Amino acid sequence: MNEFDDNEIARLLRLKRYEQPPPGYFENFLHEFHRRQRDEMLRQPLWRICMERAHSLMLRLDVRSLASYPAAVAAVL
């Protein structure tokens, strides 16, 4: 299981310390990440996208706290 000894690992880590990504790497990374997100979203059927958005909206609104309002309106009427 131990393919490398400690000296070899330390040598590899020293080499990696000086590596830097090419210019524009991070800007390109963000652009590529967003493109892949859009592609993945467009592969899903429209109804699934709508259901996921409705579900997240319900979680943000906390529907359980809103459930008492119809009961209060019914009691007043």
41, 49 in Cβ contact below 8 A? yes
Ordered by start, the domain boundaries in the chain are 6-76
67, 75 in Cβ contact below 8 A? no
Residue type, 4: F
pLDDT tens digits for range 2-54: 676 888 999 989 988 888 888 888 888 889 999 999 898 888 888 998 898 88
* Phi, psi of 2, rounded to the nearest 5 degrees: -85, 90
Q: CA 10 to CA 17: how far, in whole Å?
A: 11
Give pTM, 2 decimals. Answer: 0.39
| Rounded (5°) CA angle 10-11-17 | 90
